[in-house]
Amino acid sequence: MKKRRHKHSKNKKGLIISLCTLMAMYLGVSVFFMNHFYFGSQINGIDIAGKTVKQADEQISSAISTYALELEERGDMKEEIKGDDIGLAYDPKDKIKNLKDSQNPLGWLTSLFSKSHSQIDGIVTFDENSLKEKLNKLSSFNSSDIIEPKDASFKYTDNGYEIVDEVNGNKINKDTIYENVGNAILAGKKTLNLDAENCYENPKYTSKSKEVIDAKDLFNKYTSLKITYTFADKKEAIDGSTINKWLDVDKDMNVVFNEKKVRSYVDSLASKYNTFGKTRDFVTSSAKTIQVSGGNYGWIINKSEEVKDLIEIVKKGQDITKEPIYSQTGVSRDNNDIGDTYVELDMTKQHLWFYKKGSLITEGDVVTGNVSNNCGTPVGTYRLTYKEKHATLKGENYAAPVDFWLPFNGNIGIHDATWRSQFGKDIYMTSGSHGCVNAPYELANKIFDNIDAGTPIVCYSE
């Protein structure tokens, strides 16, 4: 039993000696860290582990004297800013010593498990104007080398719309790069990736943006439809190959219509199918083909209303067959659009015919405008404006009551002229009307009873 107690005491004594030895070593290292920085200590990215304040100061000063910041740019470009170029200066004051004083020498053991990376502001300065001047000389600021960022766009193909990828470009945001480069220099960084620091101006919308995808879907909806215009037996069809030229997006990726281009299309329809004011081939009652120009008769597409209607139809995205909106219509879509119901006035013969549905209803001699005082009845194709019974025609120094009034060109019209006893011949040359077509009572009555507003009235001289 005595032998066992002796062995236990010996083990206990050995443990105490070991602990004392470790304690002595720990305190010895602690004495070292009274004047030296912890393991893993850095100031503004510069390693000062195990250095005294003076050594750390010299280490930092040496690093700053040779400091350079490498800028990593798009396109694998790299450029450098040297401290000498921007007046980089080091003035620690007491900040290095204060940092050392904040490290408890007895706490050195914790530095083995956690790094002490300190950022001390104000120990490094540079000339801001020199930095901006240096940055402004970078190749990224050279206007000839700058590629502007561009949003994702769209391309129309036979299979519909495709998204064209955005262009990132290489245009620098000056305010951002000034701030980021300045902060990197103060922090002692050796490299700065301009892309990672968002120093570039980037597209607002990419090919993955919801707004872009939604716009593409709407484009395809609009261009998948078919619109068919009808002009009697003639047709004009519109599909995506035409509609895509009218579409665009605004700065917020909203699909918009280019109304000028829609108007251009409607203008082309009007140019092709409007007949107002056009010269017409006309077969006279004597079977002679003549050309008649002028007048107010014919088809007129209402362009402004048709543009609005066309845009609304496209927005609905449904196939449709339609006529254009007209501000004035004719009675036929045949070659001369007059049809088979019309009044024919030959001012050379001073004779009038009225045909209805191809049949001659009545004819007779008339007296037209007095050519000797420039009141001749104008040639052209007109449309009957309206018809009125028992009207009083008024002009300068006259008022003439008539039973049948058929105006077709402003204040010029066909009417009975009971004050005349003769019609036809050369009366109109010196004793014609003020421009109207004077007709015998029975002739005017017959026309009045059988004609409707809008009927063509063809006036010509052979």
Is the domain of 231 the same as that of 313? yes
| 258 within a domain of the structure (yes/no) | yes
Asked if residues 74 and 195 have their Cβ atoms less than 8 Å apart, the reply is yes
pLDDT in tens, 2-44: 455 555 666 677 667 677 777 777 776 777 877 788 787 787 7
319 CB-side CA count, 13 A? 4
CATH of the domain at 271: 3.10.20.800
Is the domain of 385 the same as that of 348? yes
**Among the listed ranges 10-24, 38-52, 307-321, which one has the minimum average pLDDT value?**
10-24
Walk across the sheet containing 320-322 and list its strands: 234-238, 227-231, 320-322
Asked if residues 410 and 399 have their Cβ atoms less than 8 Å apart, the reply is no
Is the domain of 320 the same as that of 414? no
Domain tally for the chain? 2
Mean pLDDT, range 93-107, rounded to an integer: 77
pLDDT in tens, 54-93: 887 888 878 888 889 999 998 888 999 998 989 988 888 8
Mean pLDDT, range 254-278, rounded to an integer: 96
| 66 within a domain of the structure (yes/no) | no
Give the C-alpha distances (Å, rounded to integers) separating 380 from 276, 292, 345, 407, 410: 11, 6, 10, 14, 13
Asked if residues 403 and 410 have their Cβ atoms less than 8 Å apart, the reply is no
| 363 within a domain of the structure (yes/no) | yes
**What H or E segment, with its residue span, contains residue 184?**
helix 174-186
Asked if residues 404 and 418 have their Cβ atoms less than 8 Å apart, the reply is no
Q: Specify which residues 451 forms β-bridges with.
A: none
Domain that holds residue 255: 211-277+295-328
Q: Two tokens at 112?
A: 């083995």
| 376 within a domain of the structure (yes/no) | yes
Mean pLDDT, range 313-330, rounded to an integer: 96
More confident residue, 153 or 47: 153
Q: Specify which residues 383 forms β-bridges with.
A: 456
Among 304, 328, 352, residue at a domain's last position: 328
Asked whether the CA dihedral 16, 22, 25, 27 is positive or negative, the reply is negative
CATH of the domain at 445: 2.40.440.10
Give 413's pLDDT tier (boundaries 50, 70, 90).
very high
| 224 within a domain of the structure (yes/no) | yes
Is the domain of 347 the same as that of 370? yes
Q: What is the mean pLDDT of the chain?
A: 90
What is the distance between the alpha carbons of residues 303 and 321, in angstroms, rounded to a whole number?
A: 18
| 71 within a domain of the structure (yes/no) | no
What is the distance between the alpha carbons of residues 371 and 429, in angstroms, rounded to a whole number?
A: 5
Is the domain of 256 the same as that of 321? yes
Is the domain of 270 the same as that of 374? no
The four Cα atoms 251, 257, 259, 261 give a dihedral, to 10 degrees, of: 100
Q: What burial class does residue 208 get, using C-beta atoms within 10 Å of its C-beta: 0-12 exposed, 13-18 middle, 19+ buried?
A: exposed
Q: Is the pLDDT of residue 120 over 60?
A: yes
| 241 within a domain of the structure (yes/no) | yes
Is the domain of 367 the same as that of 440? yes
Is the domain of 358 the same as that of 414? yes
Looking at residue 305, its pLDDT comes to 98
Is the domain of 373 the same as that of 423? yes
Residue keyed to tokens 């101006």: 201
8 noted as active-site residue: no
Mean pLDDT, range 272-286, rounded to an integer: 94
What is the distance between the alpha carbons of residues 124 and 186, in angstroms, rounded to a whole number?
A: 6
Query: Which is catalytic among the residues 36, 117, 351, 436?
Result: 436
Is the domain of 246 the same as that of 347? no
Looking at residue 207, its pLDDT comes to 97
Q: Is the pLDDT of residue 1 over 50?
A: no
Query: Which is catalytic among the residues 351, 415, 434, 459?
Result: 415
Looking at residue 8, its pLDDT comes to 61
Looking at residue 46, its pLDDT comes to 81
Walk across the sheet containing 46-47 and list its strands: 46-47, 41-43, 116-118
Looking at residue 5, its pLDDT comes to 54
| 136 within a domain of the structure (yes/no) | no
- Phi, psi of 86, rounded to the nearest 5 degrees: -125, 15
The four Cα atoms 39, 40, 41, 46 give a dihedral, to 10 degrees, of: 130
What is the distance between the alpha carbons of residues 440 and 308, in angstroms, rounded to a whole number?
A: 49
Is the domain of 407 the same as that of 455? yes
The radius of gyration computed from the CA coordinates of the chain, to the nearest angstrom, equals: 49
More confident residue, 331 or 47: 331
pLDDT in tens, 178-223: 999 999 888 888 999 999 999 999 999 999 999 999 999 999 999 9
Is the domain of 439 the same as that of 398? yes
436 noted as active-site residue: yes
